[in-house]
Amino acid sequence: MSLSRRVGLSTLWQLGGRLVTSTLAFAITALMLPRLLDAAALGVFAFHLALYQMLTNVLDFGAGTIVVREAARDRARAGHLLGLLVGLKARIAALGVLLAVAVALCFEGGTPRAALLCLAALHLLFHAPSGAAAIFVVDMVFSRAAAVAVAGQATWLAGTVLLALLGVREPALYLLAFGAGIAAQGALAWWWARRRVALRFDATAAERAALWSEAWPAGVSMAAATLYFYVDSIMLRPLAGEEAVAQYSNPYRLMTFVLMVPVLFSQVILPVYARLWSAGRESLRPFYVRTTRFLLAIGAPVSATVWLVSRDVMRLVFPPAYEAGAPALAILSLAAVCVFCAYPHVMLLLAAGEQRLMMRISLLGAALNVLVNLWAIPRWGIEGAAATTLATEAFVLVASATGAARRTGLRFPLAAAFRPLVCAGGAAGALAALLPHLPEVPAVRVGAGLLAGAAGVLASGVLPPDFGTEQGAPVDLATGPAA
């Protein structure tokens, strides 16, 4: 199978699975809960959910990325490496539970709600067995990964619907339903992964230390990136109150829904980056340029068009009480292209073993985000938090692109960005000219925005995707580049 076809099919599986899971999550967090809970209760839910997601992203502390990279290079070591990963995640998950419990007691005191939140925090332990699912990424069997994720989200949805039918208005119980979904996901991932690879838990202390030496810089980088990605909601509660968290969480979730494209695409291309980099820098260059151009062409129309219809999007999706989040959505949409374009450079640094440089970039980004939020949120509320996110993502893009070019010798040619940027600008111009002539009907105006963005992507020429092959030869992703 050709490289373009393999990557394309894997990406479709990833996107298809995440489209289902994100749609279910969006239905729960953006459509159901804002109508079931008042603003203060929704703020409590969003606050603790953001904390769980922040902890989840750092439970393997970078070891998952290193294990995928090394197992992609040497499949025979996969069972041993995955055993190391599961053990590490179990230890860190236990620490995560303690932290989540401490936060619950700090904010909620000795109340029944705090007790429920402590129980909900136990779901973090189920992320340890789910570490075995890294074998699906190594083997690029993303159908299994998608099915595991869908099963977990379906469990969450079922629990949420049951609570809604019972008339529950306590946010902590809805967080328990979320935890039940993670538990189901972890159990299924463990079962399917063990049918694909024999996990080994016989690692020596020296082997664990060697993995930790490689992983911790990536872990610090991931922790810092998670911090600046989710910390806005955490900081809004003490600085602006629960209602501000609720107002911000809705536009933020809209943007995270869009950002699933670069996140999932990067998971697909990381094993390819690792294999091609091991064959030599020039083997990776065509794939790196084409994947970067592809993400630019997808992300640029998002930033170019969403801000023009941000108020219509909020009016279409959410109850009227949440329309005040439209300015924040407009600002966040401008950050989308930065996130899309940063991922290939991050993957390049990881494939090249430059996780320590990525760690420094992420730490600077996290420090920038926290410091600016401390100044911006008290002055401008959720718009200040959104602007801080935009500034942080722009910094990470510039720093990762510059660092990758210096450390690897691979640069993205500016000429390759010309057509995607022109097409995105054309889409924005056409939409701006059309909107004054459209009725004030949110569905119509949002539909026009979607069509304009889609036209910008099609005009850029990246569909159907063509990611090339190494020196024109097909690449067998099970064994590496062809000779």
Same domain, yes or no: 180 and 290: no
Q: How far apart are CA 296 and CA 8, in angstroms?
A: 17
What's residue 479's pLDDT? 36
44 within some domain: yes
Task: Say whether both 21 and 125 belong to one domain.
Answer: yes
Residue 213 lies in a domain: no
Euclidean distance between CA atoms 146 and 311, whole angstroms: 33
Q: Tell me what the mean pLDDT of segment 112-136 comes to.
A: 92
3-state SS, residue 475: strand
Rounded Cα distance between 48 and 120, Å, is 10
Task: Evaluate whether 138 touches 78 at the Cβ level (below 8 Å).
Answer: yes
**Which of 46-50, 149-153, 398-402: highest mean pLDDT?**
398-402
Spatial CB neighbours of 182, under 8 Å, sequence gap ≥ 6? 123, 124, 126, 127, 152
Q: Which of 266-280, 300-314, 429-443, 463-477 has the lowest mean pLDDT?
A: 463-477
Q: What is the arithmetic mean of pLDDT over 364-384?
A: 94
Diameter of the chain measured on Cα atoms: 69
Q: Using one digit for the tens of pLDDT, what is the confidence trace for 422-439?
A: 999 999 999 999 999 999
Chain centroid offset of residue 183 CA: 20
Least confident span in 15-29, 385-399, 436-450: 15-29
List the domain range (segments joined by +) for residue 167.
Answer: 1-203
pLDDT, average across residues 236-247:
85
Please check whether residues 89 and 188 belong to one and the same domain. Answer: yes
Say if residue 122 is in the same domain as residue 257: no
What span, in angstroms and rounded, lies between the C-alpha atoms of 140 and 265?
A: 12
Final residue belonging to a domain, choices 157, 185, 203: 203
Per the domain annotation, does 94 fall within a domain? Answer: yes
Domain membership flag for residue 15? yes
The verdict on 182 and 244 lying in the same domain is no
| Two tokens, residue 128 | 């340890």
For residue 225, name the pLDDT band (cuts at 50, 70, 90): confident
- CA-CA distance, 149 to 373, in Å (whole number)? 33
Report in angstroms the alpha-carbon separations of 82 from 79, 331, 335, 405: 5, 40, 35, 31
> What gap in Å lies between CA 483 and CA 475, rounded to an integer?
9
- Region 336-365: mean pLDDT is 92
Query: What per-residue confidence (pLDDT) applies to 403?
Result: 96
The residue out of 156, 187, 203 marking a domain boundary is 203
Which pLDDT does position 212 carry in this prediction? 79
CA–centroid distance for 20 within its chain: 15
Q: Report how far residue 210's alpha carbon sits from residue 81's, in angstroms, rounded to the nearest whole number.
A: 11
Q: Are residues 247 and 194 in the same domain?
A: no
Cα separation, 268 vs 295, whole angstroms: 13
Written as six digits, the tokens of 402 are 């510059």
Alpha-carbon distance 264 to 259, whole Å?
A: 9
Assess whether 173 and 281 both reside in one domain: no
Phi, psi for 103 (deg, rounded to 5): -65, -40
Residues 188, 302 within the same domain: no
- Domains of the chain: total: 2
Q: Say whether both 263 and 186 belong to one domain.
A: no
Instruction: Compute how many other C-beta atoms are within 10 angstroms of the C-beta atom of residue 326.
Output: 21
In a domain, 353, yes or no: yes
Give me 220's structure tokens.
């610090």
Residue 92, both tokens: 């860190």
Q: Give residue 341's pLDDT.
A: 96
Asked if residue 481 is part of any domain, the answer here is no
Structure tokens at 187: 């159990």
Report whether pLDDT(343) > 70: yes
Is 468 inside any structural domain?
Answer: no
Q: Give the pLDDT mean for 1-11.
A: 65
Shared domain for 250 and 164, answered yes or no, is no
Amino acid at 224: A
Q: Are 14 and 142 in contact (CB under 8 A)?
A: yes
Q: How far apart are CA 255 and CA 370, in angstroms?
A: 20
Indicate if 57 and 167 belong to the same structural domain.
Answer: yes
User: Do 167 and 240 belong to one domain?
Assistant: no
| Position 219 in a domain | no
Q: Tell me the pLDDT band of 4, cut-offs 50, 70 and 90.
A: low
